[in-house]
Amino acid sequence: MFVTASGVDIDEMGYAMSRLEIESELFDGSKVTNEAGCSTRSNKPLHNVDHEIAQLTNLRSGPHERLRQLMPGKQQLPVSPVKMLAGREGNYSGRGRFSLADRCHMLSRYLPVNGPWLVDQMTSRAYVSQFSADGSLFVAGFQGSNIRIYNVDRGWKVQKNILAKSLRWTVTDTSLSPDQRYLVYASMSPIVHIVDVGSATTDSLAKVTEIHEGLDFSAADDGGYPFGIFSVKFSTDGRELVAGSNDNSIYVYDLEANKLSLRIVAHTADVNTVTFADESGNLIYSGSDDSLCKVWDRRCFIAKDTPAGVLMGHLEGITFLDSRGDGRFFISNGKDQTIKLWDIRKMSSNTSCDVGFRSYEWDYRWMDYPPQARDLKHPCDQSVATYKGHSVLRTLIRCYFSPEYRSKVHLHWIS
């Protein structure tokens, strides 16, 4: 149901950094002093640990024998990942990459090594899923109209089984309130439903066991045409909802006033993803099939439907955004098979950049990504960093900052 990956470059984890750690420890506190710009390296050969099973055994049983010989009193593993990465970037080993052994060393610390195991099985596909902010709950929405909330701390026991009301095609998105008491779910409809998940009842059936209140996102200026909602999110204070739709618009709903408070015609294609930028609720990020990320400041709309800024870099539609919560950084996942990290201080006021003619036809729903497109780059890429190695196919795969996002940029994606 889900795949996790560190934001660091996992497929290049290397041996050279184990050596870096050994030698840095040797020189720490010693009488050796190097001049600026100089380095001292040991010419003594290290034992060959380029074997996955041997490395795992060493990690679990204690320091390598070579470590005992070189560092009496400092027999501590695992090696610092910071020094491992620094050494790799500096090409300390001379071969410019990590070995299988050090990849194993890093993976054993930062990625799950057990499983996967089956938690639950339904008669329809799981379309959306997400952990709660504290990781104690996991929400999964299925195409067969079921939404299940699992209590992770209690062995993935089903805490709430919700049967969605007025479902069209699938549950397109869900969002838990900050206090984890309420859940909203969206479908290909302008009506978003809200459920009290803090109640004692396990099974939540609309109009039978509980009320699934409908929140109407239709606006007076939407032309009266029906539309579907792809993305819905609570604000940090739980007082508002923001939604993105297939009528190219962003909607903000005031829960206290129980009415729609804002509609923005935001993009030239489906708005697949929206989120509040920070706890103030003033900034909103949006991502669309027009391949653009946009920043909206509700305090200062210069002109109707005009964003505060635009960020270019993706070559295909954007499937998901996640904010770091600081009003500055966010990540996006795109159908161009990349995740990008953005700093809104780099945004521009226009999109006057010619990305060139696309010489291939591709639809992510049933086709593999064209090999010739994998190395293409946006000529005006404004992103801070780009992450590759995953696939965005068949569905709108999501990406999130890890729980340690305030101090580190680690990513995980859920499909």
Instruction: Give the pLDDT confidence of 290-318 residue by residue, as tens digits.
Output: 999 999 999 887 667 889 999 999 999 99
Examine residue 414 and state whether it is found in any structural domain, yes or no.
no
Angle at the Cα of 229 from the Cα atoms of 253 and 181, rounded to 5 degrees: 55
pLDDT per position as a tens digit, 89-105: 777 666 667 777 777 76
AA identity, residue 205: L
Token readout for 283 is 């900034």
Examine residue 284 and state whether it is found in any structural domain, yes or no.
yes
pLDDT per position as a tens digit, 1-17: 433 333 333 333 333 33
Q: Quick one: pLDDT at residue 294?
A: 97
Task: Give me the percent of the chain exceeding a pLDDT of 90.
Answer: 42
Examine residue 8 and state whether it is found in any structural domain, yes or no.
no
Q: Quick one: pLDDT at residue 53?
A: 52
What number is the average pLDDT over the span 370-399? 88
* Count of domains forming the chain: 1
Find the CATH number of the domain harbouring 259: 2.130.10.10
Examine residue 263 and state whether it is found in any structural domain, yes or no.
yes
DSSP state of 309: E
If we measure between CA atoms, which residue out of 402, 410, 414, 408 comes closest to residue 134?
402
pLDDT per position as a tens digit, 226-245: 899 999 999 999 999 999 99
Q: Quick one: pLDDT at residue 78?
A: 60
pTM of the model: 0.72
Name the CA dihedral angle for 189, 169, 246, 185, rounded to a multiple of 10 degrees: 60
What number is the average pLDDT over the span 69-81? 53
* Contact between 333 and 389 (Cβ < 8 Å): no
Helices (H), 28-134: 52-61, 65-70, 81-89, 100-110
pLDDT at position 164 over 70: yes
Q: Quick one: pLDDT at residue 112?
A: 67
97 Cβ partners below 8 Å, 6+ apart? Answer: 12, 14, 88
* Coil vs helix vs strand at 82: helix
Q: Quick one: pLDDT at residue 9?
A: 33
* Coil vs helix vs strand at 56: helix
pLDDT at position 178 over 90: yes
Residue corresponding to tokens 């050796």: 32
Examine residue 309 and state whether it is found in any structural domain, yes or no.
yes
What number is the average pLDDT over the span 246-254? 95
If we measure between CA atoms, which residue out of 80, 21, 103, 111 comes closest to residue 410?
111
If we measure between CA atoms, which residue out of 254, 253, 291, 256 comes closest to residue 271?
291
Q: Quick one: pLDDT at residue 92?
A: 67
Angle at the Cα of 334 from the Cα atoms of 333 and 338, rounded to 5 degrees: 80
What number is the average pLDDT over the span 103-109? 69
* Residues of the domain holding 254: 217-388
CA distances from 237 to 97, 131, 276 (A): 45, 18, 11
Q: Quick one: pLDDT at residue 145?
A: 87
* Contact between 93 and 87 (Cβ < 8 Å): yes
Examine residue 245 and state whether it is found in any structural domain, yes or no.
yes
What number is the average pLDDT over the span 358-384? 87
Q: Quick one: pLDDT at residue 61?
A: 39
Examine residue 178 and state whether it is found in any structural domain, yes or no.
no
pLDDT at position 144 over 70: yes
pLDDT at position 133 over 90: no
Examine residue 124 and state whether it is found in any structural domain, yes or no.
no
Q: Quick one: pLDDT at residue 14?
A: 35
Higher-scoring residue by pLDDT: 88, 333: 333
* Contact between 83 and 17 (Cβ < 8 Å): yes
Other residues' Cβ atoms within 10 Å of the Cβ of residue 53: 8
